[in-house]
Amino acid sequence: MGRPKKLTPQVEKAPPRLAGLMDLLPEQHASWDVFMEKLVSLAHTFSYAKITTPLFEDSRLFRFWSQASDQLLVFQDGKNNLAVKPSNIFSLARVYLEHQFAEKERVTKWYYQSPVAWLNQQNQLRQTTEYGLQIFGAIAPIADAQLINLLLKLFTELGLTSLSLQVNSIGCIECLPEYEEQLKNYFKDKKYDLCENCLDAFDNNHPLEILGCNNLSCSTAAADAPTLIDYLCENCRRNFIGVLEGLDELGVAYNLNPKVIGKPWSRRTVFEIRYQGPTSEVVLGFGGHADDLIQSLGGVSTQALGFAGTLDMILAGFEAAGVKFVHKNKVDVFLVPLGDLAAKKTLRLFTELWNHHIVASEFIGPGSIKTQLKLAESNKVAIALIIGQKEARDGTVILRDVRSGMQELFTSERIIEEVKKRLGK
Ligand SMILES: [Zn+2]
Ligand SMILES: [Zn+2]
């Protein structure tokens, strides 16, 4: 028999991340987790309950979803046409109807975070996590102001202090069509100043989208366009005044912005919350009413008010504001094993500390004991438990007060009691 042949695995390079998708690394997770923790705590304070809907739905559910040239991500499961949800609101409306929430409660208040995906204009896959708050049912006019107030509190408390609130009303099924007619007339002889998207919007009878376009030539063309506020029906006008009065009452500053047109399913109040950074402006999310949605999906006329944003928006906001969060692990005790036998002994010690609700962390990084103890001190850990070869053999543990450097030897039986005493547990 000769020498055994050395075996090597077959190498095939891992394909890279797909364009348009993101990995959420630990340092980004810290910021997102802090954001979600705050959202959850505020949501509970204001009686919103958590809801999660599936990633896929029957694609017909999303027939109102049209975002300029973005497309649904559709596929077949053999007999049905399915789609990945591009936004949560449609699934929420379906759940509201399917589980008959209207019969169970007067007002349904939900918060959520869930992945969403779609194909963008360049036919690239886009995926992110959408977060939001949604209300269905009997919504008092003051609710818009209350929701906005909650959101401003959420962002401000997370260090996004320089906020602007952009508000508009885009009317309802009664007054919006007449306004759209006026807009079409207005843009008729300005068609050739419009960008490709706006020209499409014009041809497809969505002239409102032209108002939202930030293209210079489109903005210039829209400069003297009739404003929707002048065309609101009496109900919408009163409703909008109610919202603005609510904001005044709360002392919330706002900017009436006719360029904020919401989504294709928006009705009445629409708003955006933006972070105004020193060099950039970041939209943190969109809100407003979708009062025809439930009825369009076969339910009775039901008011809907919500706000939604994405993970990317929040991370961009934190970046623009220079706000950084780090994961803080609260550690009570650092374990320092020296050598293999000692490492084995710390396994049991770790478990015993854990059983007594004492959080221990082990030094696993490189560096001398000295640098590691410095690390413990900078992490505000008061106690280090050191086990060397001798202690491992004798069944003892050295307890070191990290700040003073004082050391004492204890038996393995006594060490837990001593740690508890020193931690005041
Ligand atoms: Zn109206
Ligand atoms: Zn345009």
DSSP state of 17: P
Q: From CA 53, how far away is CA 57, in angstroms rounded? A: 9
Q: What share of the chain is helix, strand, coil (3-state, %, to 5)?
A: 40, 25, 35
* Residue 4 reports pLDDT greater than 80: no
DSSP state of 80: S
What is the structure's pLDDT at 287? Answer: 97
Fold of 333-423: Rossmann fold (3.40.50)
**What pLDDT band is residue 9 in, cutting at 50, 70 and 90?**
confident
Q: Is the model more confident about 275 or about 377?
A: 275
| CA of 239 relative to ligand 1 center, distance in Å | 9
* Residue 222 reports pLDDT greater than 80: yes
* Residue 369 reports pLDDT greater than 60: yes
| CA of 233 relative to ligand 2 center, distance in Å | 28
| CA of 413 relative to ligand 1 center, distance in Å | 76
| CA of 173 relative to ligand 1 center, distance in Å | 6
| CA of 162 relative to ligand 2 center, distance in Å | 28
26-169+256-321 is classed CATH 1.10.3720.10: no
Amino acid at 198: C
Q: What is the mean pLDDT of the chain?
A: 90
Q: Is the model more confident about 345 or about 103?
A: 103
What is the structure's pLDDT at 204? Answer: 85
Domain boundaries, the chain: 26-169+256-321, 333-423
* DSSP assignment string, 227-269: PGGGG--HHHHHHHHHHHHHHHHHT---EE-TT----TT-EEE
The closest of 241, 236, 287, 237 to 265, measured between CA atoms, is 287
Ligand nearest to the CA of 169: 1
pLDDT (average), residues 363-391: 78
The closest of 232, 277, 273, 278 to 254, measured between CA atoms, is 273
Q: List, in order, residues 6 or more apart from 118 with CB less than 8 Å away.
A: 67, 70, 71, 72, 73, 84, 86, 126
Ligand nearest to the CA of 232: 1
For 13, list phi and psi in degrees, rounded to 5: -60, 135
Give the model confidence (pLDDT) of 254-308 as tens digits.
999 988 989 889 999 999 999 998 888 999 999 999 999 999 999 999 999 999 9
What is the structure's pLDDT at 49? Answer: 97
**What pLDDT band is residue 402 in, cutting at 50, 70 and 90?**
confident
Q: List, in order, residues 6 or more apart from 345 with CB less than 8 Å away.
A: 337, 387, 391, 392, 412
**What pLDDT band is residue 214 in, cutting at 50, 70 and 90?**
confident
The closest of 156, 294, 266 to 206, measured between CA atoms, is 266
Ramachandran class of 279: left when φ > 0, alpha when ψ lies in -120 to 50, beta otherwise: alpha
Contact between residue 42 and residue 35 where contact means Cβ atoms under 8 Å apart: no
| CA of 247 relative to ligand 1 center, distance in Å | 20
* Residue 373 reports pLDDT greater than 80: no
* Residue 378 reports pLDDT greater than 80: no
| CA of 281 relative to ligand 2 center, distance in Å | 20
Contact between residue 306 and residue 332 where contact means Cβ atoms under 8 Å apart: no
| CA of 371 relative to ligand 2 center, distance in Å | 59
Comparing 124-138, 320-334, 401-415, which segment has the lowest mean pLDDT? 320-334
| CA of 228 relative to ligand 1 center, distance in Å | 10
Ligand nearest to the CA of 212: 2
Ligand nearest to the CA of 217: 2
What is the structure's pLDDT at 68? Answer: 61
Ligand nearest to the CA of 219: 2
* Residue 365 reports pLDDT greater than 70: no
Give the model confidence (pLDDT) of 125-173 as tens digits.
999 999 999 999 988 878 999 999 999 999 999 999 999 999 999 999 9
**What pLDDT band is residue 364 in, cutting at 50, 70 and 90?**
low
Strand pairing category for 383-387 and 333-337: parallel
Distances (CA, A) of 366 to 280, 343, 345, 370: 41, 15, 20, 11
* Residue 379 reports pLDDT greater than 80: no
| CA of 320 relative to ligand 2 center, distance in Å | 26
**What pLDDT band is residue 36 in, cutting at 50, 70 and 90?**
very high
What is the structure's pLDDT at 362? Answer: 75
Q: Is the model more confident about 337 or about 328?
A: 337
Residues within 5 Å of ion ligand 2 by Cβ? 195, 198, 213, 215, 218
Q: Looking at 52-106, which runs of residues are DSSP E strands?
A: 56-58, 73-76, 81-84
| CA of 363 relative to ligand 2 center, distance in Å | 58
pLDDT (average), residues 241-265: 93
* Residue 368 reports pLDDT greater than 60: yes
